[in-house]
Every structure is written in C-alpha cells, then in structure tokens.
A and B are shown apart, each in its own frame.
Chain A
C-alpha cells in the first residue's frame, strides 16, 4: 500500500523559512517522479513543485520559483521542500503527491498534508 507522510509544517513569520519532508513507502520510490501541491484557505488546489525520479530535473510554479527548492533522498525514500522568504500567501496545507508511472501527467497518490501558516 502506497503511503506518503508529510511533516515539518508549522507557524512561521513572513520572510522566514521552513523545510517540509515526505516519507514514502509501499512503492519503489526511486522509479517515480514526485510533487508538492498545496491548498490555501478558501482556495483550490495549486501545483507547487515537481522532481524527476532521479532528482536531476526539478520544476516550480512561478509563484514559488526562486524561493522554494525541491529535493529527494532516494536512499531514504524521502522528498523535501525547502521554503524560504515565506509570504502570507504561502499559507496552505501542503500535500506530497506521487506522479503516475508515465508520462507524469497526474497524481495517483497523495499524503494527508501538513499545514504551513505564515503570519506575524
């Protein structure tokens, strides 16, 4: 059974940093691209960032480019999202999501999410 467990969320001041993690199990992590998707309060789903199976390719939404960094540790089956220069509009529940096998067009499994609140 695929399991994705996010951690690292919390309350942070504007301009601050936070690092999210996602522990994956139940599938061969090294062969799947992964992603982060968020849902802000009163808003819909928004794709944030993606990374290839090897980690050699990364992708970012314009809203987070230059501030967020996605990475993965295939030896530990872990996905991470380093978030810097946080803004109020980054407040959201952040979900770790597994891409479909190929060609990575949709998300076939999701974690339960971790809440990030950016406020002074």
Chain B
C-alpha cells in the first residue's frame, strides 16, 4: 500500500513561513490534498489538487507537488493556524499521511 510520510512536528514564529512536507514514491504524479484539524474540531480542506484553495481559505495557504515531495506552505503564520495538518492522496484507496503538528511559538 502507498505510504505518505510527514514530519511529526513543525514550529514557527508568528509572521514567519511554515513549510510542511509530505513524502511519497513519485507523489508528483498524483493529486495531493491537505487538511487542517484543530483540537476538538472537524478536519477542514485547505488545499486540493496540489495547489487549489477552497473558497474561504486564505491565500496564505498554498501547495506544491513535484518528484517525491508535496509541500504545504503557510505564509505569515498566525496563532490561529496552530493545528494538525494531513496530506492525502488517492492510490487504490484514500490514503492519509501521519499528520504534522504545527506549533506557533
């Protein structure tokens, strides 16, 4: 089965840029989707199809995907961005990465 690898944690100061990676074998050939989940809340789709944002998601959230790594970038990080972030692809079933906890210092 297909495996997606994320760093367990990422820390960033307010106003700086956070980069969360998602590794997978030739992931660049797949569409990658990203979700944000805050404690006690439902997951929210923040990026789909590698680079697109659903309506209502700030432009600070962006995505890229190439080779063996997909990346979620959060610019001008705010305290409210602190959450768990998951990447996800379709590969014969719906596969999630292990998640990355973003801490805003």
| A and B co-occur in one complex | yes
Knowing A59-B93, A61-B93, A110-B42, say if A44 contacts B98 (CB, 8 Å). Answer: yes
Cα A46 to Cα B95 with chains together (Å): 7
Chain A residues with CB under 8 A of B93: 47, 59, 61
A47 touches B94 (CB 8 A): yes
B-side interface residues, number (CB < 8 Å): 24
Q: How far is the CA of A50 from the CA of B94 in the complex (A)?
A: 9
- Chain B neighbourhood of A37, CB < 8 A: 43, 94
User: Per-position contact with B for A54-90: 1 when CB-CB < 8 Å, else 0?
Assistant: 0000010100000000000000000000000000000
A95 within 8 A of partner (CB): yes
Q: B42–A45 contact, CB under 8 A? A: no
Interface centre among A45, A46, A97, A100 (most CB of B within 10 A): A45
Q: How large is the interface on A (under 10, 10 to 19, 20 to 34, 35 or more residues)?
A: 20 to 34
Q: Is B97 in the interface zone, CB < 8 Å from A?
A: yes
**Smallest Cβ-Cβ distance to A44: which chain B residue:** B99
A44 touches B86 (CB 8 A): yes
Q: In the complex, are the beta carbons of A45 and B86 less than 8 A apart?
A: yes
In the complex, chain B residues 37-90 whose Cβ is within 8 Å of any chain A Cβ: 37, 41-45, 48-49, 54, 84, 86, 88-90
| A47 touching B31, Cβ below 8 Å | no
Q: Which residues of B contact A110 (CB under 8 A)?
A: 42-44
28 contacts between A and B (CB under 8 A): A35-B94, A37-B94, A39-B37, A44-B86, A44-B96, A44-B97, A45-B43, A45-B88, A45-B96, A45-B99, A46-B96, A47-B94, A50-B94, A59-B93, A61-B93, A105-B31, A105-B89, A105-B94, A106-B33, A106-B45, A106-B49, A106-B94, A107-B33, A107-B45, A107-B94, A110-B42, A110-B44, A113-B42
